[in-house]
Every structure is written in C-alpha cells, then in structure tokens.
Amino acid sequence: MDSHPWIPNSTREIREKMLEKIGVKNIDEFFNDIPRNIRISKEEWDNLEIGLKKPISEITARRIIEEKLSMNKVFVPLLFLGGGAYPHYVPSVIKYLISRGEFLTSYTPYQPEISQGILQALFEYQSLMAELLDMDVVNSSMYDWASALAEALLMSLRVKKNKKKILLPSNMNPIHKRVVNTYLSPHNVRIEYVNYNHDTGLIDLEDLKNKIDNDTAAVYVQSPNFFGYIEENAKEIGEIVHDIDSLFIMGIDPISLGLIKPPGELGADIAVGEGQPLGLGLNYGGPYLGIFATRMDMKLVRQMPGRIIGLTRSVDGSRAFTMILQTREQHIRRAKATSNICTNEALSAIAAAIYLALLGKSGIRKLAELIYYRSHYAQARLREIGLNTDIFKSDFFKEFPINFDNIGVKYRYVHEKLLENNIHGGLYIGNWFPELGETALYAFTEIHTKNDIDLLVEKLADIINELKR
C-alpha cells in the first residue's frame, strides 16, 4: 500500500529504516507467533467485505455517506416525540468548544498536571449540576439516565446490605424498566411496582405504604413521570421512604428544575437523570449523559459508581484538580469495584457544563417557563379540537398524553396521516399502558414555536374532520 495520511510511517523509506534497526527482514516476522491454523491469509482478508476493501479518499467517502444520509428524514422542528429524549436547541458555542482538539482527543486524565483544563471542566460540570439538583456530590457521568438509574439501584443494595427489595413506580419510563431488569438480573433482588393513581397520574401513596417494608433497600420516583406529570408529593414520599430506613432515589429532567423543586430539597439520597436536554443533540439515542448525584454522606459516596474529580492543591500551593476516590473504581479495586464503568460520557458532561454556564441563574428558569407555556398552549389548543388531553388531573411539564379513542381509529392511522404532512407525531404508549387505550405522548419544547404548534393542531383537526365525514 502507498503511504496513508493517517499512517505517517507507512512510506517505504521509513519502514525499511525501522525494520533495519530492529533487525528483521519483513513485517510478517512480527506475527510468526500466531499459530498457522488460526491465521487469516492476506488474500482471504483482502477480499472480506470491510469498507470498500481498499483505502479511498475523503472526497469519495463523503459522497458515499452523503448519499445515505440523504435518505434520512429530519422532522425537527415538526417532531413531537419525547419519552426520554427531547428535541432541544443546542447553542452554537457548545459544538464549537467541544470540538477543540484538546478536549476532543484527550483521554481520561490519569496525569493531572498536564490535564488541568479538562479536569477543571469536569469539576465544573459536577459543581454546576450539584447546584441545579441541590445535591452535594455528582460523578462525572454515566452512559444515560437508564443506566444511571440501574447503577443507583445496585448501589442501594450495597448501602443497605441486608435488604433485597426495590420499589419502582409504575408510571416510570417503561424503557428504563427494561434496562433496570437487565442490570439487576444477576442479583437476588425483588422488584415491585407501586401503582399510580388513575385520576391524578401520580404515585398512589396508599399503595406505596402497603408495599414498602423493612426489606426495601430503595424507592424510586420519576418526576416529571413518564406521562410528563410532576410528582407533587415527592417530599411526602421521601419521608415515607426514610421512615423505614430505605433510600429515596429521584429521576429528574434537568430543565424542569428551573421551575420544580430540586431533588436535594425534596430529600432525595440519590438523584439520576438524562443530561441530553442540556446541549446535546438527539443523535438517534446517543451519546447521551447519565446524571448521577448523592448527598455528602461517606456511606453513600464510597459506594458511588463512576469517576469523580476533586479540587485540591499542587505542591507549590496553587489550586489544582485531580481524580479522587479512585479506590472505588475498577482499575484499582477490580472485582470489588462499585461498578465496571471506565469510558463514560465525559465530553457530553463538558457540553452540559457549558450549557448551564450559558443559561445561568435566570436562563434555566426562563427556559423552563417557556417550555411550560408552549406545552400548556398545545394542550389547550388540542382540547379545543376535541381531543382528550386531560387524562390526568394534575400539572405536567414538557409532555402529556393525548387519548384518541373518541375519534374512531387506531392511533397508527393518525401517525400515518401526520407523516404524510411531514409532521412526526408523538409516541404511542398504548402497548405499555393498555389501560390508557389509544394514547400517545406528545412533547413540546423551546424549539416549537406557536406556529409549529398551530400547524400540528390544524393537521390533527383535519384528520378528525375527515373521519367525521
């Protein structure tokens, strides 16, 4: 092969010089210790379908990929899907800063002296997130909300050593339920679900009281819950949980905390959530950002999964940052580590830090208010055209379910009709919650202007009218 731009020593002269210095005739000699019967021949390998077999130019590659990408259909802003990932605006500053090579191409900062910048940026992420959540300790990221929750439950079982039961809310994200089941499957744990009140959509406190017992290691509450409704009884739930010496875990949407009391103020021991709304794209599901926070209680902190950056000093007294409490981690503790997590979502965490810095004290509140107004405007307008938007009688943030039973067709039909009009409707949830019938969850954020919402309402009204005829 000719020399390649990514492989600077691949010229004949350099290769020959290197081989001569080493004292071997050809490169194949380095591979002589691979037994013959498990080697792949050059011919066989070259003919495998891997890329286009031979190296190609950037120009050609771009053409090939462009052609494929043109087959994707982008609906944003006319996309009303939520369910754990949300179309939010990403300020330009974020992409610019996280594409700087010193952040982008660095590794886990094992050598703090030469990595102060990235260490400080991650410390700032932890610190900004701590203020938003009103929690004390935040790790510098998990994979996503679902895996953060699963690890929080595993952590609870370690903290409450002899307890073997976990209580989850039935109005939590059903996809997260599946992830939790996977993570907990090897362990001897009982998972039980607390009912939700079919009138308010919120946790049924009586059912919680009936199900919680001395064997309960942790109780999880999601707020806003999967239906988008705000768990206004979170504080009372925390008290019930603490009365029985079990841990209270809260799952949150970080942007909602501009308006809603933070988990720290509500008594949560552990808070988890999805950082995707904070300046990350939708990216078809990843990379996202698992938020993980606890109170400053060493019993909790020592059992935390993931990497934590701390503030300290250098030998000459200047402020410095470094990875702390590493004895919890897999590279030191091995089989006894609190988690196996190594590569995390550090760059996403930096993006979220920049986002929080840009919005600042008042921006996060204004953004939460804007989203509140937009989503409630949508609800009011959809109610006017005869859709059932009031399945639950409490207040919501960003998304809410709409029931389509009264229009006489399956939701699938509505979905197809909207697609024909270049609109992507909400998420059908009837299969997860059969008691809700033909119901779909619609999300509205700052990217949806009044005109976008009006257009959706207009098209839905057309569909309904057509059916009436």
Could you say which residues in the range 196-215 bind another protein, by CB under 8 A?
none
Site for another protein in 13-52 (CB under 8 A): 14-15, 17-19, 21-24, 27, 29-35, 37-40, 42, 45-52
Strand partners, 216: 165
Q: Does 97 bind another protein (CB under 8 A)?
A: yes
Contact 148, 291 (CB under 8 A): yes
Q: Does 374 bind another protein (CB under 8 A)?
A: yes
Task: Provide the token pair at 70.
Answer: 């043109």
Q: Does 161 bind another protein (CB under 8 A)?
A: no
Helix 174-184 to helix 145-159 angle (10° resolution) is 50
Site for another protein in 324-353 (CB under 8 A): 324-325, 329-337, 339-348, 350, 353
**Residue 459 beta carbon to another protein: minimum distance, rounded to whole angstroms:** 16
How many angstroms separate the CA atoms of 181 and 154, rounded? 11
385-415 as b/e: b if 16+ CB within 10 A: eebbbebbebbbbbbbbbbbeebeeebeebb
CA nearest neighbour of 446 among 351, 349, 359: 359
Site for another protein in 380-399 (CB under 8 A): 380-381, 395, 397
CB of 211 or CB of 325, closer to another protein:
325
**Residue 424 beta carbon to another protein: minimum distance, rounded to whole angstroms:** 6
Q: Per-residue contact track with another protein, 112 to 151, x per CB under 8 A?
A: xxxxxxx-xxxxx-xxx-xxx-x-xxx-xx-xxxxx----
| Torsion angle (degrees, nearest 10) of CA 427, 377, 94, 306 | -50
How many angstroms separate the CA atoms of 461 and 151, rounded? 44
CB of 211 or CB of 363, closer to another protein:
363
Q: Does 440 bind another protein (CB under 8 A)?
A: no
How many angstroms separate the CA atoms of 16 and 173, rounded? 59
**Residue 13 beta carbon to another protein: minimum distance, rounded to whole angstroms:** 10
CB of 73 or CB of 468, closer to another protein:
73
How many residues bind another protein, per CB under 8 A?
214
Site for another protein in 219-278 (CB under 8 A): 230-232, 234-235, 257-262, 265
The amino acid occupying position 422 is: N
**Residue 173 beta carbon to another protein: minimum distance, rounded to whole angstroms:** 7
Beta strands in 87-239 (DSSP E): 137-138, 165-169, 190-194, 216-223
**Residue 249 beta carbon to another protein: minimum distance, rounded to whole angstroms:** 17
